[in-house]
Amino acid sequence: MPESLTPDLVALRDRVATLAAEVLVPLRDDTALEPAERARRTREASKAAGLFTMAQPAAAGGSAASALALVVARDTLGQHDVGHLPGLFGPGPGVLGGVGEPLRTSHLLPLLAGEKRGGFAFTEPVDAPRQSWARVEGDELVINGQKSYVTGGGDADFVTALVVVEGRGPAMVVVDARAPGVTLTRRFGTLDGSHHAAFAFEEVRVPVSNLVGEPGQGLTRALGQIGDVRLAIAANCVGTAGWVVGFVTAHLLAPRRNGEPLGSHERVRLRYGDMCIRAYAARSMLYRTARIADRGENAVNEAIATKVFATETVGELVDMAIQLVGGEALVEGHPLEAAYRRVRSLRLAEGESDTLRVNVARGRLELDKGRI
């Protein structure tokens, strides 16, 4: 569990905590900084602390950290309310992990070096007439369709899109964002402050060599990337939950005008106790799932369960915290107001909660996967 860490992981936790407290919190709170400059300084500090390359493969100069090490780092950052700062972790390979030439040289290595930006194009807009598709013509794929909610897509040099290759099944294919026939149809922001894009593909021609793996394996590859991201989301949420509990603890212990702290009231303690219980359960799930993954065992259902529980828990905790702190917590710029905006979208990211519940049930009933 979180308390059963090796000396190396304890050292990592302490190093990340020092980075967060001494460097990242001041960067977060410096309102005079432009976002780009804050991201640059965050990136430099992360690299100096050995954090930036943790999610990158060793073959590309990364440290290829274990699932548990990444959980420790993200949990610790979240407990200082800085896990959302851009620039903390270098881009991972995503579905391009393990690709051969020419994609390795043309896209993977520039992505890991920060020379190119990629987007993950998985979702069609709700009004799309069909899933994006491609036909094979000689040594080319001809792609048509639409994609939405491509995170970071507005600034992407390329997107890795899930398409159905006619007669061969779903496939992941790399599409350069400025290729003829690719249209950036929309840029939009969401409640949590993130930025997304929508694309249309009309007779877009790409080399067959841009396929990532074989047709028919595309959905498996896509879901593999999503599984990794789900555990990262859960770790961020668990850290944030710990920060929320700490924020409320200080609020409940502070004396009010009558000299009596708010935490002396039984009805308040009831709410606060529930917050502590939920935060403890979420952390326990997270660390157990990371250890299962590091043993090389199938952890798909566990990652899903952890993501659902952690995202719903942090949403409930932030809501309870606002209720206990009162109206000042709704003022724009208050830490809890900012947290509320950030965490709400996470119940939809990488699979909305009810869909994931159905997936867990299917894993148990039909595939005999998952643990209790």
Q: Which two tokens stand for residue 365?
A: 């009933």
Is 3 a residue whose pLDDT tops 80?
no
8 Å CB contact between 201 and 146: yes
Query: Which of 3-7, 174-178, 352-356 shows the lowest mean pLDDT across its residues?
Result: 3-7
| Residue 155, helix vs strand vs coil | helix
Q: Which two tokens stand for residue 214?
A: 């074989």
Q: Quick count: other Cβ atoms within 10 Å of Cβ 338? A: 17
Q: Which two tokens stand for residue 189?
A: 């922001």
Looking at the structure, do residues 254 and 337 belong to the same domain, yes or no? Answer: yes
Looking at the structure, do residues 204 and 299 belong to the same domain, yes or no? Answer: no
- The pLDDT of 44-55, averaged and rounded, is 94
Here the CATH number for the domain that contains residue 353 is 1.20.140.10
Looking at the structure, do residues 177 and 251 belong to the same domain, yes or no? Answer: no
Here the CATH number for the domain that contains residue 123 is 2.40.110.10
Looking at the structure, do residues 78 and 160 belong to the same domain, yes or no? Answer: no
Examine residue 108 and state whether it is found in any structural domain, yes or no: no
Query: Which of 42-46, 162-166, 217-221, 347-351 shows the lowest mean pLDDT across its residues?
Result: 217-221
C-alpha dihedral sign at 218, 101, 94, 295: positive
Looking at the structure, do residues 124 and 192 belong to the same domain, yes or no? Answer: yes
Examine residue 107 and state whether it is found in any structural domain, yes or no: no
pTM exceeds 0.85? yes
Distance CA 141, CA 136 (A): 5
Given pLDDT bands bounded at 50, 70 and 90, which one contains residue 59? confident
Residue 109 exposure: Cα atoms within 13 Å on the Cβ side: 10
**Which residues lie below 8 Å from residue 257, measured CB to CB, with a gap of 6+?**
none
Given pLDDT bands bounded at 50, 70 and 90, which one contains residue 224? low
Distance CA 284, CA 365 (A): 25
**Which residues lie below 8 Å from residue 270, measured CB to CB, with a gap of 6+?**
none
Looking at the structure, do residues 361 and 286 belong to the same domain, yes or no? Answer: yes
DSSP labels, 211-273: EES-TT-HHHHHHHHHHHHHHHHHHHHHHHHHHHHHHHHHHHHSB-TTS-BGGGSHHHHHHHH
What pLDDT does 245 receive? 98
Number of domains in the chain: 3
Boundary of a domain, candidates 94, 127, 148: 94
What pLDDT does 95 receive? 83
Q: Which two tokens stand for residue 40?
A: 């640059």
Domain residue limits at 278: 219-365
8 Å CB contact between 171 and 134: yes
Average pLDDT, the chain: 92
The pLDDT tens digits for 297-344 are: 989 999 999 999 999 999 999 999 999 999 999 999 999 999 999 999
Q: Which two tokens stand for residue 174?
A: 């790399």
Name the more confident of 262 and 69. Answer: 69
Is 60 a residue whose pLDDT tops 80?
no
Is 144 a residue whose pLDDT tops 90?
yes
- The pLDDT of 43-72, averaged and rounded, is 90
Looking at the structure, do residues 244 and 323 belong to the same domain, yes or no? Answer: yes
What pLDDT does 219 receive? 64
